[in-house]
Amino acid sequence: MEKFVINGGKPLSGSVRISGAKNAAVAILPAVLLADGPCVIENLPQILDVSTLLSSLSALGADVKIINKTTARIDPAHADSFIVTKEMAQGMRASSYFLGALLGRCKRARVAPPGGCDFGVRPIDQHIKGFEALGTRVTIENGMVDARAASLSGASIYLDVVSVGATMNIMLAAVKAKGLTVIENAAREPHIVDLANFLNSMGANIMGAGTGVIKIRGVEHLHGTQYSIIPDQIEAGTYMVAAAATGGDVTVENVTPKHLESIIAKLIETGAQIEEFDEAVRVRMSSRPKRCNVKTMPHPGFPTDMQPQIATLLSVAEGTSIVTEGVWDNRFRYVEQLTLMGASIQVDGKSAIITGVEKLKPAPVRAVDLRAGAAMIIAGLMAKGETVVEEISHIDRGYELLTEKLSALGADIKRVNDYGTPQAKLA
Ligand code: EPU
C-alpha cells in the first residue's frame, strides 16, 4: 500500500500544466467502439481509470496501441465481445458507458454494475429508462446488467434528475439508432460537449450538447477519427484551490477559463486574486481566506467534484461558511478526516457548517474517495509539518503525476510504500 508524505506549510508557486479531462476520457474511450475504423485519441490523462478502460477495450477484442504517454490508437474492428466483467470494470463508475457504447455497436451488452466513489446510493435508473425508451430490454442476470435490443429507434426522453452519466449513455446508444432522439433536462457539463464533439467528428449528428435539450439524429455508420480531449476542469480547480489555500501564486496552464467560471467566482469571494488568460488562469492569495457559502449544482453551477477541496480552503477562513451539497446524498465522508487535522466542521444533512480555524495541524489521514483525497493533499500542503495520506489508490484514479506536478510548484510531497521507500512515479 502506498501513501503520500507531505511536509506542508510552504506556499505553492510557479506554473502547472493541466492534463486531459478524466470524465471526458472515460466516456470517449468506450465510445470508440461505435466507430467502423481506428480512432486516435490525444490528450488522454495518465491515470488509473484510463489504463483500466484501455485494458477493457483490449479484452473486448479492440486493437489498442499506445502511441505516446497521452495518445492511444484504438481499432475496434475486431471487438467481438459484448461482456464487461467485474474484473475488467474494477469498480469504476465509467464502466457503465460500455452499456450505451455496446448497445450502439451491436445492440447487446452485458456489463458488471458500475462502482465508483462511495457517495451513498448511485442508481442508474435514468440510464435504463433511456435505453428502454430506445427499444432495449434491460434485466439484471447473475449480478450483471444485461441489455439487448432487436433494433434501436429514436425517442423523446425526459431525465427526472440531471445526470451526467445518463445523458452520456443515452447519447452513446442513440447515435446510431433510427430517427431522432431528444434528451430533455440533459446535463450540460463540459465533458458532455466533448463527447458530442468526439461523436460528431466520427460523423454523428448531435445538436444542443451543452444545453438542457440534446437532439441526436441517428446515422448508419461512424468512421474513425483523430480527437484531442479537453483539459480537466476539476484537476485545474484543484490546483487553483491548492494555490489559494497555501497563500501561493500559481499559473494553471492549458485550461479553458470558461469551464472554471464558478470556481473562479468563489475563489474571488474568498479573497484570491485571479487573472484570466486565453488558456491559463493565475491564482494568488496574500491574506487569510474570507468566509463564503458554496452550493454545488450541475453545470454551470459550482461542481460537486470541487466540494471537498473548497471546504478545505474554507476550514481556515475568517468566519463561518456553509457548504451545501446539491448533487450527491452523502459527500461529506472526508469531514471526519479533516477534523483530525483541526478543522471545525459540523455536518447537518446536506450542509457542512465550517467555522474557520487559524491553521490546520498535520495528522495521518485517509483518502476516502478521489476528490476527498485531493482535499487531504491540499490540507497536508496547508499544515506546517508532516501529514501522511493513506489509501491513495483513489487519488491515482483521477490525478496525473500529482507528486511531480506539486513538487514542481515547490511542494514537499513524496509517494512512499509501506516500507517507507520513495516511489518515483506511478507506473
Ligand atoms: N442519479 C439518479 N439516477 C441515475 C443517475 C444519477 O438518481 O440514473 C442521481 C445520482 O444519484 C446523483 C445525481 O443524479 O444524485 C447526479 O449523478 P450523475 O449521473 O450526474 O453522476 P455520474 O454520471 O455517476 C459523474 C462523474 C462524477 C460527478 C458527477 C456529477 C464520471 C465518471 N463521474 O458521475 O465525478 O460527481 O457526474 O457531476 O463522469 C469524480 O470525478 O470525482 C466524480 C465522482
pLDDT at 117 (0 to 100): 73
Question: For residues 351 and 396, which has the higher predicted lDDT (pLDDT)?
Answer: 351
Residue owning the nearest CA to atom 23 of ligand 1: 165
Residue owning the nearest CA to atom 17 of ligand 1: 163
pLDDT at 122 (0 to 100): 80
pLDDT at 423 (0 to 100): 63
Which residue, chain included where needed, has cell 502547472?
Answer: 16
Share of the chain above pLDDT 90, in %: 89
On the question of pLDDT at 94 being above 90, the answer is no
Please give the distance, rounded to the nearest whole angstrom, from the Cα atom of residue 136 to the centre of ligand 1: 22
Give 331's pLDDT tier (boundaries 50, 70, 90).
Answer: very high
On the question of pLDDT at 171 being above 80, the answer is yes
Whether ligand 1 lies within 6 angstroms of the CB of 126 is answered as yes
- Under 8 Å between Cβ of 323 and 314: yes
Residue 257: cis peptide before it, omega within 30 degrees of 0: no
Whether ligand 1 lies within 6 angstroms of the CB of 327 is answered as yes
Which atom of ligand 1 is nearest the CA belonging to 327? 15
Lowest model confidence (mean pLDDT) among 28-42, 90-104, 168-182, 276-290 = 90-104
> What are all long-range contacts of 263-271, with beta carbons under 8 Å and residues at least 24 apart?
263/233, 263/236, 263/237, 263/302, 263/303, 263/306, 263/310, 264/240, 266/292, 266/294, 266/302, 266/310, 267/240, 267/241, 270/244, 270/313, 270/314, 270/317
On the question of pLDDT at 169 being above 80, the answer is yes
Residue owning the nearest CA to atom 5 of ligand 1: 124
Amino acid at 355: T
Three-state secondary-structure class, residue 417: coil
pLDDT at 20 (0 to 100): 98
On the question of pLDDT at 63 being above 80, the answer is yes
Distance CA(226)–CA(34), nearest Å, equals 14
Question: For residues 162 and 418, which has the higher predicted lDDT (pLDDT)?
Answer: 162
pLDDT at 154 (0 to 100): 98
Q: What is the mean pLDDT of residues 202-210?
A: 98
Which residue, chain included where needed, has cell 460528431?
Answer: 200
pLDDT at 427 (0 to 100): 34
Q: What residue ranges do the domains of the chain occupy?
A: 3-19+231-416, 22-228
Q: Which residues contact 87 (CB under 8 A, 6 or more apart)?
A: none
pLDDT at 238 (0 to 100): 98
pTM (two decimals): 0.96
Per-residue pLDDT tens for 245-282? 999 999 999 999 999 999 999 999 999 999 999 999 99
Please give the distance, rounded to the nearest whole angstrom, from the Cα atom of residue 53 to the centre of ligand 1: 18
Whether ligand 1 lies within 6 angstroms of the CB of 37 is answered as no
DSSP symbol at 409: T
Q: What is the mean pLDDT of residues 339-368?
A: 97
Grid coordinates standing for 110?
452485458
The CATH number of the structural domain formed by 3-19+231-416 is: 3.65.10.10
Q: What is the mean pLDDT of residues 231-242?
A: 98
pLDDT at 121 (0 to 100): 73
On the question of pLDDT at 124 being above 60, the answer is yes
- Largest pairwise CA distance in the chain: 63
Give 426's pLDDT tier (boundaries 50, 70, 90).
Answer: very low
Catalytic residues: 117
On the question of pLDDT at 195 being above 60, the answer is yes
User: Mean pLDDT across the chain, nearest whole number?
Assistant: 95
Residue owning the nearest CA to atom 31 of ligand 1: 23
Helix (H) or strand (E) holding 138: strand 137-141
Q: What is the mean pLDDT of residues 109-127?
A: 84
Nearest by Cα to 24 from 182, 240, 168: 168
Instruction: For ligand 1, pick from 163, 295, 324 the residue to mutate: most ligand atoms within 8 Å of CB.
Output: 163
On the question of pLDDT at 424 being above 80, the answer is no
Per-residue pLDDT tens for 1-25? 899 999 999 999 999 999 999 999 9
Question: For residues 116 and 222, which has the higher predicted lDDT (pLDDT)?
Answer: 222
Whether ligand 1 lies within 6 angstroms of the CB of 328 is answered as yes
Per-residue pLDDT tens for 296-328? 999 999 999 999 999 999 999 999 999 999 999
Whether ligand 1 lies within 6 angstroms of the CB of 375 is answered as no
pLDDT at 90 (0 to 100): 74
| From the candidate CATH numbers 3.10.20.740, 2.120.10.30, 3.65.10.10, 3.40.50.150, the one assigned to the domain spanning 22-228 | 3.65.10.10
Whether ligand 1 lies within 6 angstroms of the CB of 343 is answered as no
Burial state string for 337-370 with b = 16 or more CB within 10 A and e = fewer than 16: bbebbbbebebeebebebebeeebbbbebbbbbb
Whether ligand 1 lies within 6 angstroms of the CB of 330 is answered as no
Residue owning the nearest CA to atom 6 of ligand 1: 163
Per-residue pLDDT tens for 358-401? 999 999 999 999 999 999 999 999 999 999 999 999 999 899 99
Distance CA(94)–CA(51), nearest Å, equals 12
User: Which strands, in side-by-side order, build the sheet including 108-111?
Assistant: 83-84, 108-111, 144-148, 137-141
pLDDT at 6 (0 to 100): 98
pLDDT at 113 (0 to 100): 85
